[in-house]
Amino acid sequence: MKYAGSVMEIGFLFQLYSPVQASPLTCLKDHPRKGEKLTLSPSGTLAAITDSLGRILLLDTQALVVVRLWKGYRDASCLFMELLVNRDQPGSSSFYYEPTKSDYCLCLAIHAPRKGIVEVWQMRTGPRLLTIQCAKGSRLLQPSYRFGSSLGSPYVPLEAFLLNGDSGQLSVLNRFLN
């Protein structure tokens, strides 16, 4: 294919690279609030939305209904993660048990920088499971890939990390619940 500029070639290229508009799903209007960040759960069925006035909305993306609301979290950031909570293991304590997906629960980690804490809440309507103090300048991080996740290998939970902005220390938040 030569690029001599024929009308057919230009039309074909325009079709490949023409802009596409997003399809609106719903509208959540609550003036003067403005949505700032949206984080999807791994399955895509929940979304955490932070707004300009310090609220965090937990949205059921299938029913398009707000199922939970937190107040007082200005400048917050959120990540979904999985926490090992089902620690009832069969057999004796000497028996090695590899946790499965059903041993983990979906949680939302909320970094509240103005409070200097990270809170971990069980989804959808469960309790706060953890509160962790963090230094100013800390950030929540999450890899875009689950390391070690493949067929035949043990289940790898969705992890979240806390980067201390002052010291550079990186800590994993969700190895297990004490």
Residuewise pLDDT in 10s, the chain (178 residues): 444 444 445 444 445 554 656 666 667 677 787 888 999 998 999 999 999 999 999 999 999 889 999 999 999 999 999 988 766 555 445 566 778 888 889 999 999 999 999 999 999 999 999 899 998 889 998 887 766 656 666 777 888 888 988 888 888 887 655 5
Q: Which helix (H) or strand (E) holds 14?
A: helix 7-17
Burial track 68-89 (b if 16+ CB lie within 10 A, e otherwise): bebeebeebbbbbbbbebeeee
Q: Identify the residue whose tokens are 């596409």.
A: 20
What is the reported pLDDT for 1? 44
3-state secondary structure 28-52: CCCCCCCEEEEEECCCCCEEEEEEC
CATH dotted code for 33-172: 2.40.128
* Cβ-contact 161, 111 below 8 angstroms: no
For the whole prediction, is pTM greater than 0.85? no
| Phi then psi dihedrals of residue 75, to 5 deg | 65, 20
What's the rounded Cα separation, in Å, for the pair 18 and 34? Answer: 29
- Can you read off the two tokens belonging to residue 81? 């993660």
